[in-house]
Amino acid sequence: MKTTKLILILILFSTSLFAENDSELWLRKKATTQVNIQCSKSSPTIDIAINELKNSWQGEDGANIELKIIKDKQLKADGFRLSRTGIQAKTDAGLLYGVFEILRRQQTGGSITGDIVNPSYDLRLLNHWDNLNGSVERGYAGRSIFWRGIDSLEVTSGDLNLWKEYARANASVGINATVLNNVNASPSVLTTPVLERAKAVADVLRPYGIKTYLAVNFASPEVIGGLETADPFDPAVKAWWKEKVKEIYTLIPDFGGFLVKANSEGQPGPQNFGRNHADGANMMAEALEPYNGIVMWRAFVYDPSDEDRAKQAYNEFMPLDGQFHDNVIIQVKNGPIDFQPREPFSPLFGAMKKTTVMPELQVTMEYLGQSVHLVFLATMWEEFLKSETWQEGAGSTVARCTDGSIFNQKYSAIAGVANIGLDANWCGHDFAQANWYAFGRQAWDHSISSAQIADEWLKLTFGPQNIDKETSSYDLEWNLSFLQPVKQMMLNSHEATVNYMMPLGLHHIFSAHAHYGPGPWWAPRGMRADWTPPYYHQADSLGIGFDRTASGSDAISQYHEPLAGQLADLNTCPEVYLLWFHHVSWDHKMKNNRTLWNELCYRYDEGVKQVREFQQVWDKAERFVDAERFAAVQHKLTEQGMNAQEWKDACLLYFQQFSKQPIPYELERPLFNLDELLERDRQRVRRSR
């Protein structure tokens, strides 16, 4: 008897603590109660909604819930109204989002009152940088979930299952659109066999409320169409795009549209034919217009000229404001350079008043430690979305300049470059799943706090089974000893990474093109200056930082007053952006009275200490986590700790050659010497070739 009980306990214990599977993301199977659902309408989307409710209901046992389509001016297309007795929405997708919201609240302890829930943005998109050959540009979680080569386009049942799981995860956080391929787009994406595979993906995503988009190559009419030009003014070129669009809509009747990277980093574009971005974007917009398709045209442009790279997108796009068709959206990266650990917002937000502008965030952590470092990105995105642009007076935050509440725009949208791949846990790092989750939650509600997102995600992803079903409250101990410290670690993690990589406004000081390790010295002979760190840090015997005031590149003048004035003044410029906007002397007094050099040393030191603390937090959490996920995260934190030390030593020892000052003696001494680090870097660069 005793032994049987013991075995039973062991089995139960092992299923709850050890047999966890991180492929389930935040949608882990939990104990449920029974629910009765009424709905007078039926559709594939509603069927999914009903199933989800049945499979995960944790509310009152035997509750009656009604799903109902209604007309209501207060509701946006995807919005819904929640009550204790049901969900009302204008569309089937709205009902599905309502279902996921109720389930989330049941599982995380939120209450269900009679509220209306509308999304902040109409289009909440992932951008996959997936190549047709199956590789993923800046992907750190394995191969593509959509493509495995142009000779391997047949759709398997494994594909269909995977795409369905992907669709479900997206729908559960409100993501309603996806671009299936890399912005560095192969023209082949528009060939018929590839389009047929895209159609197969679209068919799986559709019932989950997700529309399919493709990134296209501007030279496609020449490369795959056999035309002599891709000039957007050429009638044959226009006709080619119209025909191609028609073909796509025959296959995918609700196709979303195109994403275009043109005249950027060597990609072809309208400028190759003496035309401008508006000419190119509008030509495609015309082809898509009859089907309500849109063009997302990227503003990520810069040339190796004498002009500060941070100014170039604004210079190129501002004169075109008002010239784009209303189904063109200009897609702008959050910062003016390129997804750096911390950037001020791009001055294009709020400045283009007659053009729809959408933010592009990077969920994949190209510049933030990739799939090795634990960095919760919600805090960085929150800082960005809440940035005050002043473009239309106080309250013109980036969020409000892009969500349609200030400017009259036909669409509102936000994109995140996906961190998803074939790895069993989808994202390469268990905590990187939180960034996919966070992107969806913030795209849905840009006023949600990062703390709430972390709280929800931890409860859904690591929450214990023994949650009280009546009150949805968690075990006190779990709450105090796991949830609170791990949440705090997540909320501090971005600042920690900024500290040990690029504090005080430093940016782009990575070695080589892998964008992983430190390389403040990296400047091979003949390399474009704006691809090398010295261009960005400008360290010399006098000081460090990029002078973007009127005496330097004057990039500050692209911002609106009173912000521009605040940034320009060394005394009022927020210190987190100090070296982004100013070349500052090593002895400059910081607000805390330390010299700049000392403060730099303190920041790097702080970053390393923070990661060491994260290791402690995680080790203490061991008893609350299954063995597999515990070990995986522990292992990555160890590597992050070593990387942080390397970043600190590399940057301080390198910059010390210019400052000629000691690292404050009260701080930990370097563990590496500069020659060693240079050699490590050379080897790493060699290996990556």
Under the rule (CB under 6 A), what is the footprint of ligand BDP?
A: 137-138, 183-184, 261, 265, 300, 338-339, 366
Exposed e or buried b per residue across 652-687, where buried means at least 16 C-beta atoms within 10 angstroms of its C-beta: bbbbbebbeeebeeebeebeeebeebbebbeeebee
Q: Which of 265, 477, 587, 668 does the annotation list as catalytic?
A: 265
Of residues 300 and 577, the one with the C-beta less far from ligand BDP:
300
Q: CB of residue 345 vs ligand BDP: minimum separation in angstroms?
A: 17
User: How large is the angle between the packed helices 44-56 and 92-108, nearest 10 degrees?
Assistant: 10
Of residues 300 and 597, the one with the C-beta less far from ligand BDP:
300
Structure tokens at 257: 């549209």
Q: CB of residue 308 vs ligand BDP: minimum separation in angstroms?
A: 18
Q: Is 38 left (phi over 0), alpha (psi -120 to 50) or beta?
A: beta
Of residues 308 and 338, the one with the C-beta less far from ligand BDP:
338
Q: CB of residue 333 vs ligand BDP: minimum separation in angstroms?
A: 7
Q: Which of 222, 308, 338, 599 does the annotation list as catalytic?
A: 338
What stretches of 409-567 adopt beta strand conformation (E)?
413-417, 543-544
CB 347 within 8 A of CB 558: yes
Of residues 138 and 446, the one with the C-beta less far from ligand BDP:
138
One-letter amino acid of 360: E
Q: How far apart are CA 111 and CA 667, in angstroms?
A: 48
Please indicate whether residue 392 is annotated as part of the active site. no
Of residues 415 and 600, the one with the C-beta less far from ligand BDP:
415
Long-range contacts of 586-592 (CB under 8 A, 24+ apart): 586/542, 586/543, 586/544, 586/658, 586/659, 586/661, 588/543
Please indicate whether residue 468 is annotated as part of the active site. no
**Nearest residue by C-beta to ligand BDP?**
338
Q: Which of 222, 366, 382, 530 does the annotation list as catalytic?
A: 366
Of residues 136 and 678, the one with the C-beta less far from ligand BDP:
136
Cis peptide, bond prior to residue 44, ω within 30 of zero: no
**Phi/psi of residue 127, nearest 5 degrees:** -110, 115
Q: CB of residue 261 vs ligand BDP: minimum separation in angstroms?
A: 5
Of residues 298 and 537, the one with the C-beta less far from ligand BDP:
298
Looking at residue 590, the DSSP 8-state letter turns out to be P
**Phi/psi of residue 541, nearest 5 degrees:** -65, -25
Structure tokens at 178: 């996806």
Please indicate whether residue 430 is annotated as part of the active site. no
Long-range contacts of 582-585 (CB under 8 A, 24+ apart): 582/545, 582/546, 582/547, 582/548, 582/549, 583/538, 583/542, 583/543, 583/544, 583/545, 583/546, 583/547, 583/552, 584/543, 584/544, 584/545, 585/542, 585/543
Q: CB of residue 128 vs ligand BDP: minimum separation in angstroms?
A: 12
Q: How far apart are CA 221 and CA 496, in angstroms?
A: 47
Catalytic residues, which ones?
265, 338, 366
